[in-house]
């Protein structure tokens, strides 16, 4: 569903077992869809007033997870020929020939339709529409743009930032719209994704280039532009994270914790900007993985 769901653990090897369960998990990127579930959960918690409606929360997270799995399957169906070119993806079910393309297509379409309709029936039309938009942005814009322009990262970040908004609107209802809180959650995920993903893209730039993906600016051989963009978005992440407190979403403890977490994240981004080595890129990547659940968990714990 999201670019996060596609790229988050890119450094890990693909599963090579031939069992159908393993292949299904790989095709739907089940372990990565967990991030979508977490961010949807956080969005719902932050958008709810009073006691949580646990049944509605379950519907929102599961419906969004189905949509995420749909995007993962359809993305791999669209990029089967490209996945054969990269070491980390050539053993996936489709490029390895363990699953028929038609079966993957039907599975992806079924999951997408199921997720959107589930949200429509159990939450509201706005949440369902956002889920559909997320799938559409990911597949119709981000996926083809990956082979044309480095601006694809910005488009992918839009798709990746929508799951918490789905949770927020499921709790708030369509009459309230997205609201300030929903946009702040979107902003946190959007700005977080850029340094996170650019660190990945820099580490695997040769492999991406071999497959024809334009994940970095073509003329940025030194990585200076990549490092600068990462730093700019890390600075933006500070602002939008802190804004959550000043619009009344959280208590004072969150502000202190958010500042400390962002100081660490910003420090990693500065290091990457100054020294675009694989080591500093890996540090920024793993730091971003730790940053997001800590910040979101703190937000829920300190909810106003």
Per-residue pLDDT band for 31 (boundaries 50, 70, 90) equals confident
Per-residue pLDDT band for 91 (boundaries 50, 70, 90) equals confident
Residue 165 sits in the same domain as residue 184? no
Residue 166 sits in the same domain as residue 18? yes
Query: Which residues in 228-265 are b (16+ Cβ under 10 Å) and which e?
Result: ebbbebbebbbebbbbbbeeebbeeebbebbeebbeeb
Residue 96 sits in the same domain as residue 16? yes
- Is 118 a residue whose pLDDT tops 70? yes
Render pLDDT for 283-302 as a digit per residue (tens, 0 to 9): 999 999 999 999 999 999 99
Residue 148 sits in the same domain as residue 48? yes
User: Quick one: which of 225, 207, 271 has its CA closest to 216?
Assistant: 225
Computed over every residue of the chain, the mean pLDDT equals 91
**Listed residues 150, 172, 194: the one ending a domain:** 172
Residue 22 sits in the same domain as residue 109? yes
Render pLDDT for 196-212 as a digit per residue (tens, 0 to 9): 999 999 999 988 888 88
Q: How much is the average pLDDT of 80-90?
A: 83
Dig out the tokens for 148 from the structure: 């044309």
Residue 156 sits in the same domain as residue 260? no
Q: How many CB atoms within 10 Å of residue 20?
A: 11
Residue 1 sits in the same domain as residue 147? yes
- Is 266 a residue whose pLDDT tops 60? yes
Domain of residue 81, CATH code = 1.10.357.140
Please list, in sequence order, all residues whose beta carbon lies within 8 angstroms of the beta carbon of residue 33, skipping any fewer than 6 positions away: 1, 5, 65, 68, 69, 72
d(CA 25, CA 17) in angstroms, rounded, equals 11
Residue 122 sits in the same domain as residue 230? no
Structural domain including 69 reads 1-172
Which pLDDT score, from 0 to 100, does residue 30 have? 77
Which pLDDT score, from 0 to 100, does residue 11 have? 40
φ, ψ at 50 (rounded to 5°): 80, -150
- Is 10 a residue whose pLDDT tops 80? no
Which pLDDT score, from 0 to 100, does residue 110 have? 97
Residue 163 sits in the same domain as residue 186? no
Residue 50 sits in the same domain as residue 154? yes
Residue 245 sits in the same domain as residue 269? yes
Render pLDDT for 237-265 as a digit per residue (tens, 0 to 9): 999 999 999 999 999 999 999 999 999 99
**Listed residues 113, 145, 172: the one ending a domain:** 172
Dig out the tokens for 78 from the structure: 């669209």
d(CA 300, CA 139) in angstroms, rounded, equals 31
Into how many domains does the chain fold?
2
Which pLDDT score, from 0 to 100, does residue 89 have? 81
Per-residue pLDDT band for 21 (boundaries 50, 70, 90) equals confident
- Is 17 a residue whose pLDDT tops 80? no
**Listed residues 155, 172, 189: the one ending a domain:** 172
Q: How much is the average pLDDT of 54-69?
A: 96
What is the number of H-type helices and E-type strands within the chain?
15, 0
Residue 243 sits in the same domain as residue 96? no
Of 40-44, 90-94, 272-276, which range is least confident?
Answer: 90-94
């Amino acid at each position: 569903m999201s670019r996060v769901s596609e790229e988050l653990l890119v450094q890990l090897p693909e599963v090579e077992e031939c069992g159908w369960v393993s292949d299904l998990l790989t095709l739907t990127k089940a372990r990565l869809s967990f991030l979508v579930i977490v961010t949807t959960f956080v969005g719902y918690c932050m958008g709810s007033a009073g006691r949580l409606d646990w049944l509605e929360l379950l519907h929102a997270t599961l419906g969004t997870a189905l949509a995420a799995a749909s995007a993962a399957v359809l993305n791999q169906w669209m990029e089967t020929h490209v996945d054969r070119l990269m070491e980390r993806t050539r053993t996936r079910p489709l490029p390895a020939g363990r699953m028929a393309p038609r079966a993957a297509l039907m599975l992806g379409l079924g999951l997408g339709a199921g997720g959107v309709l589930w949200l429509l029936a159990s939450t509201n039309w706005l949440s369902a529409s956002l889920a559909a938009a997320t799938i559409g942005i990911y597949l119709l814009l981000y996926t083809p743009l990956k082979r044309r322009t480095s601006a694809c990262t910005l488009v992918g970040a839009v798709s990746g930032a929508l799951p918490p908004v789905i949770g927020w609107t499921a709790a708030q209802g369509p009459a309230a719209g997205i609201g300030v809180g929903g946009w702040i959650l979107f902003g946190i995920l959007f700005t977080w994704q850029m340094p996170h993903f650019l660190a990945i893209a820099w580490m695997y730039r040769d492999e991406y280039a071999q497959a024809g993906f334009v994940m970095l600016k073509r003329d940025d051989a030194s990585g200076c532009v990549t490092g600068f963009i990462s730093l700019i978005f890390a600075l933006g992440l500070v602002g939008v994270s802190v804004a959550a407190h000043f619009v009344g979403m959280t208590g004072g403890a969150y502000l202190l914790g958010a500042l400390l977490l962002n100081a660490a994240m910003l420090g990693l981004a500065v290091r990457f900007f100054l020294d675009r080595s694989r080591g500093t890129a890996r540090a920024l990547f793993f730091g971003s993985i730790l940053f997001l659940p800590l910040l979101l968990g703190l937000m829920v714990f300190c909810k106003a």
